[in-house]
Amino acid sequence: MHNKTISQLAQGLRNREFSSVELTQAFLTRIKQHQDLNAYITVTEEQALQAAQAADARLAQGDAELLTGIPMAHKDIFCTLGVKTSCGSKMLDNFIAPYNATVVEKLNQAGAVMLGKLNMDEFAMGSSNETSFYGAVKNPWDTGKVPGGSSGGSAAAVAAQLAVCATGTDTGGSIRQPAALCGITGLKPTYGRVSRFGMIAYASSLDQGGPMTRSAEDAAILLQAMAGFDPKDSTSANQPVPDYLADINQPLAGLTIGLPKEFFAEGLNADMAAVLETAIAEYQKLGASVKEISMPNLNLAIPAYYVIAPAECSANLSRFDGVRFGYRCENPADLTDLYVRSRGEAFGKEVKRRILMGTYALSAGYYDAYYLKAQKVRRLISEDFKKALSEVDVIMSPVTPSTAFGIGEKMADPIEMYLADIYTIAINLAGLPAMSVPAGFINGLPAGLQIIGNYFQEAKLLNIAHCYQQATDWHTLIPKNFE
């Protein structure tokens, strides 16, 4: 049962081939068998079986949606009522959320069964899932490699079939990069398409929740339940949500694909370039045409991002002070000691680094030189995308500069780690939707293709990805020992 898609499982549940309780128990057993991956922080076994029983009752009444009874898991950045929501940090190791995030609430209403909370880089800061207080997650394709980050637990769980699907969040590539490194499908929607209410903030103008699944069709089903306007989120877009499955099989004849020469220039790994050329050739067979485009400000994305994101993180993480909730140091001498020791003892190295960078960029005398200038660069990058997407239907590019690297390989060099997101960060700065689809293997490790679309064109991206997946089988391959 564990190796089926959402639609296949939904059909099986409707046909009474198995119950949601049986399906859920099968996944709970797999999670116990593969604890060494470290994909889960919390497993909610009792709660999952209760939800499965409720789903079976809905199925018996004929009141079921596609996700009813489907076992899935949440990145541990989404608040879940009565369940620990840690954000991968010692700071929130004792935090039991008093409410559900909107995404969690929507999926509950759809009848999905939550298996637990998934491991992640601390406060979503990282590209390898090594900054978690709970230890590194391992890549199912090679347990000596990283799964990517910050949604590494989500990617590893889906790839290893420890959940049918999972939620993730993407601030600078944190859905797409781990999806590529673990050989699954990951979609970062348009900024504002999915509610951020109850999603613990890292960088508020960049963070976006999205689906992580085996296939584009599954991503469409999960996004359908997640998307929509939320009055509780001031950054939520009041846009109608289309039926993402309605046009998923549309032919691609006449599609124009833009290839940014800046992304395919010197510096792109030769093996990765070969994988992308093969994938793009497949799209040409499906009727698409290719056009080279130029986006001259793309090279400014990483410096701009690493001013803007840390600045917003500095502001957002100021709420974790040892006073209201979360970790509190023992026997503080005074209020200042409480602040300093609580934050010093509970935040990890990478989080401290980004808070310091952001505080510096926002400080008097440096705001104009760094933060304001970075926001101007952000506008230039957005204009580059606007111009490019007026000439082509979608843009395709690498997701990552290489396949998964070794655990511990880049931890000593933060700059090299930051460059792991070189192809994804610009999309967040512009607020556009983009997705990663499995496109091949290099030395036994998965490689992904990135598809970037215009605002609120997730349906088009899903159609383009689905047609490719109908013609290829990369997304169906399972890591050895996890079949």
| Residue 129 backbone class (left: φ over 0; alpha: ψ -120 to 50; beta: rest) | left
Q: Are 474 and 442 in contact (CB under 8 A)?
A: no
Q: What is the pLDDT of residue 119?
A: 98
Q: What is the pLDDT of residue 266?
A: 73
Say yes or no to pLDDT of 1 above 90: no
Say yes or no to pLDDT of 98 above 80: yes
415-425 pLDDT, tens digit each:
889 988 999 99
Closest listed residue to residue 445, CA positions, set 57, 230, 139, 219: 139
Q: Reply yes or no on whether 86 is catalytic.
A: no
Say yes or no to pLDDT of 105 above 90: yes
Task: Determine how many CB atoms are found less than 10 A away from the CB of residue 192.
Answer: 21
Domain boundaries, the chain: 1-483
Nearest 10 degrees: CA dihedral of 426, 428, 432, 435? 90
- Burial label for 253, CB within 10 Å (0-12, 13-18, 19+), is exposed
Q: Are 201 and 316 in contact (CB under 8 A)?
A: yes
Say yes or no to pLDDT of 60 above 80: yes
* Catalytically annotated residue among 19, 75, 117, 128: 75
Q: Are 455 and 431 in contact (CB under 8 A)?
A: yes
Sign of CA dihedral 318, 202, 241, 101: negative
Report in angstroms the alpha-carbon separations of 214 from 159, 163, 473, 475.
Answer: 7, 10, 11, 6
* Average of per-residue pLDDT across 388-402: 97
Confidence class of residue 365 from pLDDT cuts 50, 70 and 90? Answer: confident
223-250 pLDDT, tens digit each:
999 999 999 999 999 999 999 999 999 9
Distance CA 483, CA 480 (A): 6
258-306 pLDDT, tens digit each:
999 999 877 788 999 999 999 999 999 999 999 999 999 999 999 999 9
Q: What is the pLDDT of residue 285?
A: 98
Q: What is the pLDDT of residue 325?
A: 93
Confidence class of residue 205 from pLDDT cuts 50, 70 and 90? Answer: very high
Confidence class of residue 312 from pLDDT cuts 50, 70 and 90? Answer: very high
Q: What is the mean pLDDT of the chain?
A: 97
* Average of per-residue pLDDT across 118-122: 98
* Average of per-residue pLDDT across 299-319: 96
Provide Rg for the chain, Cα atoms.
21
170-188 pLDDT, tens digit each:
999 999 999 999 999 999 9
Q: Are 301 and 384 in contact (CB under 8 A)?
A: no
* Catalytically annotated residue among 150, 154, 314, 342: 150
* Average of per-residue pLDDT across 422-437: 97
Closest listed residue to residue 468, CA positions, set 181, 220, 249: 249
Confidence class of residue 364 from pLDDT cuts 50, 70 and 90? Answer: confident
Q: Reply yes or no on whether 390 is catalytic.
A: no
* Average of per-residue pLDDT across 116-136: 97
Architecture of domain 1-483 in CATH? Answer: Alpha-Beta Complex (3.90)
> Which strands sit side by side in the sheet containing 289-293, from one edge to the other?
40-43, 113-118, 71-75, 165-170, 208-213, 185-188, 434-442, 445-452, 394-398, 256-260, 289-293
Confidence class of residue 483 from pLDDT cuts 50, 70 and 90? Answer: confident
Rounded percentage of the chain residues whose pLDDT exceeds 70? 100
Q: Reply yes or no on whether 261 is catalytic.
A: no
Confidence class of residue 253 from pLDDT cuts 50, 70 and 90? Answer: very high
* Catalytically annotated residue among 86, 128, 174, 236: 174
